[in-house]
Amino acid sequence: MFNFFKSGATDRPTDVKGIRYALLQFIKQELQKAEGGEGSYIKGLCLYLGGNAAEKHVYEAAVYADEPDAFKAEIQKIADDYALALPDNWTLDVNFEQDFPSEAVKAPNLDAAFFIKTNKHFIRQTATAYISVLSGETSQKEYTITSEGGKVNIGRDKKAQVNDGFFRTNHIAFPSDSTNPANKYVSRQHAHIEWDNDSARFMIFADEGGVPPRNKVKVRAEATEELVKLHSTEIGYPLAEGDQIVVGESAVLQFSYHSLAHE
């Protein structure tokens, strides 16, 4: 078996099992360093994987890229075996990048780095995504959103007077004077999208006009085709590549990290 504690170049693992074992041992050591093994303050773990094109598929297999919960379960088993009290809601983010953040700890003999997120210790991440309008009429067919751009409101009309008398700006607006039938069922304050730095994801939230019994916000996950209905303004849904968002009865938006404007 690969000897993790040697530092010679000849000890660099090259097969799936060797890389997985070395990654888990590396993560275990870093977790044990965290305040003497007390892990309850941890919010999440970030694993960064590099490697050249020829190695990438081996690293993907090592972390069960097609089954993200499987590698997290392996880490949880280590935490249980070594009394590392990770909180119930800890997260794992696996990122394939050529350049690792300077704050992350580089693994020996692996193209990998590791970072532990806490309330006071985190890597500020940025992202750009695109919202395409698949059904319904808006002023643009595609909208660009960024992690630093603030909340993106979705609703009927650009300027809409809401229940408290004030006016709300809808950045993705469905005009009420449109003849498109999908616009009719979009509320003035239907939903919004915002960036969550803790999970490094864009989240969609239903607003007052987008929760039952008034109206609806539904998300169909691209990866699983699972349909999720948002019933509360307090609980958001993390958006992933290709997810479709239904606002009202038939207005449909699609979330992507890639622009579809020129496809």
pLDDT at 178 over 80: yes
Q: What pLDDT band is residue 42 in, cutting at 50, 70 and 90?
A: confident
Q: What pLDDT band is residue 7 in, cutting at 50, 70 and 90?
A: very low
Kindly list the distances between the CA atom of residue 178 and the CA atoms of 56, 161, 193, in Å, as whole numbers in the listed order. Answer: 49, 18, 23
248 near 128, Cβ under 8 Å?
no
Residue 134 Cα to chain centre, angstroms: 22
Alpha helices in 34-182 (DSSP H): 53-62, 68-81
What value does the CA radius of gyration of the chain take, rounded to a whole number of Å?
A: 22
- Sequence-separated (6 or more) residues with CB below 8 Å from residue 255: 129, 130, 131, 202, 239, 240, 241, 242, 243, 244, 245
Residue pLDDT, tens place only, 197-245? 777 789 999 998 888 876 789 999 888 888 999 999 999 999 988 999 9
Residue 136, CB half-sphere, CA atoms under 13 Å: how many?
Answer: 30
Q: What angle do CA 29, 32, 34 make, to 5 degrees?
A: 115
As given in the structure block, the two tokens for residue 221 are: 């996950």
pLDDT at 116 over 90: no
CA torsion sign for 169, 190, 206, 117 is: negative
- The mean predicted confidence, pLDDT, of the chain is 86
Q: How many residues does the chain have?
A: 263
260 near 130, Cβ under 8 Å?
yes
- DSSP E strand stretches across 73-119: 91-96, 105-106, 112-117
pLDDT at 39 over 60: no
As given in the structure block, the two tokens for residue 216 are: 């609806």
What is the DSSP code string of 151-207?
-EEEEESSEEE-TTS-EEE-SEEE-TT---GGGGG--TT-EEEEEETTTTEEEEEE-
Helices 16-33 and 53-62 pack at an angle, to 10 degrees, of 70
Q: What pLDDT band is residue 164 in, cutting at 50, 70 and 90?
A: confident
Q: Please provide residue 65's backbone torsions phi and psi, each rounded to the nearest 5 degrees.
A: -55, -30
Q: What pLDDT band is residue 5 in, cutting at 50, 70 and 90?
A: very low
